[in-house]
Structure 1
Amino acid sequence: MSVRDNTNRRLKEVLDIMAAGSWLDEKPNGGEVLAEATARIPFTKEESELLSGGIPRGHKNLTKATADLVKAGWMSKGRSGWAITDNGLRATVAFDTVEKLADALSNGTLIPEGTPLPQKPADAPAAAAAKKAPAKKAPAKKLSATQKPAEAAAEQQQAASGVTPENQPASVALVGDFGTKLGASGNWDPSHSAVQMDLDSIGGLWQLTADLPRGHYSYKAVVNGSWDENYGAFGVLDGANHEFSHAGGTVTFHYNHATKDVLRG
């Protein structure tokens, strides 16, 4: 089976995974969807080969192919997660095999008029109800006699980030092939001051804002100044590089030590 065939099989899995998540009103993280799809259809030896950016060939092919689902209007990608559209759900009915799905995406085939939405699995309503049930909240922490309201608010926001101040690393560097554009003496150097991220003591996230020219860039987050702890795409330890194409201008990177992932905003 060819690389393209395997990519199409995983693309079908992506749509099916997204459809299953829709019954629970979920917007899964893109990394979770891709990881599940590749677990169902593992990479071949050829697809496991690392490209120049440190990303497996199969992973890059699949990530690129998901853009076809967005272009077709079958799914959307956002900072809050990925979501399947109603037409995406109908596509799972109209193009219910890998071959039909691949042909539809390749030829721009429209979903036949009158195609119904797929029926929800019998256990979906109960699962959705359980998911929507309000979680028990921990009792609100009372202010000490000397604590100011602003300090209490800061503590609450830090807790919401998932990492308490004492568990934050000493430093986080955003290293990549744009280091020299930020003023560093070289690229991929976590020791240079120009690539150090600043911790927002209220929100609990690390941040770096850069003005980059148009281009395609790769980067990772390096914790505590050592490559012994570095995180790539989807917050994976020693994982593949983050990659993105930039139209030029200001971009802000946010690192969350709870997820070990870097988002752009």
Structure 2
Amino acid sequence: MSIRDNTNRRLKEVLDIMAAGSWLVEKPNGGEVLAKATTRIPFTKEESELLSGGIPRGHKNLTKATADLVKAGWMTKGRSGWEITENGLRATVAFNTVEKLVDALGNGTLIPAGTPLPEKPAEKAAAKAAAKKASSKSAATKPAAKKPAAKKPSAKPATATGTATQAKESTDAPADQPTSVALAGTFGEALGAKNWDPAHSALQMTLQHSGTWQLTADLPAGKYSYKAVLNGSWDENYGAFGVLDGANHEFAHVGGSVTFHYNHATKDVLSADDTES
């Protein structure tokens, strides 16, 4: 099966995952959607190859392909995350196979009039109700578990600039941002810090007016791994696709200056090469 065929299959999964997520109170963000799609249809060896931007070929292809869903009016992408539209929900009913979906996107086929919205998954609703009932019963018979004491974030040097508090004094950034975001990984020593140490000032990102976090670093050529660490503690960290405690971001660099961007809405990190593509 070709790379294009695999991308199309994952694109169908993306729409289906977002449709299923539309019934949830907390909708899955873009990173979670991509992660689930690639878990269902794993990358081949060729698709796993890292491009110059430091991301797998398959990930970049799928991210680009989602633009077709936006163009068709089936989903939206914004600062608040990804959302499936009503037409997108109807599309999962009208174009319920990969072939039908790809043909509709390629030819600009309109959704037939009268196409119903997908029904709420009865099994999931029943399972959720059963879980809620079990939880209520358990809460009535067992004492509440103690919440683990929060770990105190590692102290940051007074020169660190990557904090939400400092940025908010001069920006209109959202109020739900973390206190700090650091990129901890194997390039720490190249920047004068220890590898995988989120406390060093050289690894702190700075909150921008746009609401995203940014870090520009001068790195030698090589392959690096890293994660986004929030609030100075590994208690909350995000890896590839913005997954909590997920796999490391893998970054292949030709050498020189590179800028990283962290979006708290998607919990994902992109390098300058990714955002320009």
Length-normalised TM-score, structure 2: 0.57
Deviation by residue 1:126-164 (Cα, 9 ceiling, x = unmatched): 45667999998xx9xxxxxxxxxxxxxxxxxxx9xx994
Which amino acid letter does the alignment assign opposite residue 28 of structure 1?
P
Deviation by residue 1:54-93 (Cα, 9 ceiling, x = unmatched): 2111111111111211221112234444322211111011
Aligned residue number for residue 19 of structure 1: 19
Distance 1:131 1:24 in 2: 14
Aligned residue number for residue 48 of structure 1: 48
Aligned residue number for residue 239 of structure 1: 249
Q: Secondary structure at the match of 1:240?
A: strand
Contact residue 94 and residue 115 of structure 1 kept, 8 A: yes
Q: CA deviation at 1:238?
A: 2.8
Aligned length in residues: 205
Deviation by residue 1:165-212 (Cα, 9 ceiling, x = unmatched): 61x24556459xxxxxxxxxxxx7365x98553xxxxxxxxx514599
Aligned residue number for residue 61 of structure 1: 61
User: What fraction of aligned residue pairs are identical, expressed as a percent?
Assistant: 63
Residue 208 in 1 paired to residue 216 in 2? Answer: no
Which amino acid letter does the alignment assign opposite residue 95 of structure 1?
F
Which amino acid letter does the alignment assign opposite residue 5 of structure 2?
D
Change over 3 Å in CA distance of 1:238–1:122 after alignment to 2: closer
Distance 2:267 2:155 in 1: 14
Contact residue 23 and residue 124 of structure 1 kept, 8 A: no
Pairwise mapping of residues 30-49 of structure 1 onto structure 2 (< 5 A)?
Answer: 30-49=30-49
Deviation by residue 1:232-265 (Cα, 9 ceiling, x = unmatched): 5515453135xxxxxxxxx985779xx97559xx
Distance 1:38 1:109 in 2: 26
Change over 3 Å in CA distance of 1:91–1:73 after alignment to 2: same
Change over 3 Å in CA distance of 1:208–1:21 after alignment to 2: same
Q: Secondary structure at the match of 2:249?
A: coil
Contact residue 228 and residue 238 of structure 2 kept, 8 A: yes
Distance 2:228 2:26 in 1: 31
Contact residue 31 and residue 267 of structure 2 kept, 8 A: no
Which amino acid letter does the alignment assign opposite residue 21 of structure 1?
G
Pairwise mapping of residues 1-265 of structure 1 onto structure 2 (< 5 A)?
Answer: 1-127=1-127, 164=150, 166=152, 168-170=153-155, 173-174=182-183, 189=191, 191=193, 195-197=202-204, 208-209=206-207, 231=239, 233-234=241-242, 236-241=246-251
Contact residue 227 and residue 238 of structure 2 kept, 8 A: yes
Change over 3 Å in CA distance of 1:52–1:14 after alignment to 2: same
Which amino acid letter does the alignment assign opposite residue 59 of structure 1?
H
CA RMSD of aligned residues (A): 4.6
Gaps of 5+ in 2: 157-180, 185-189, 194-199, 218-225, 252-259, 271-277
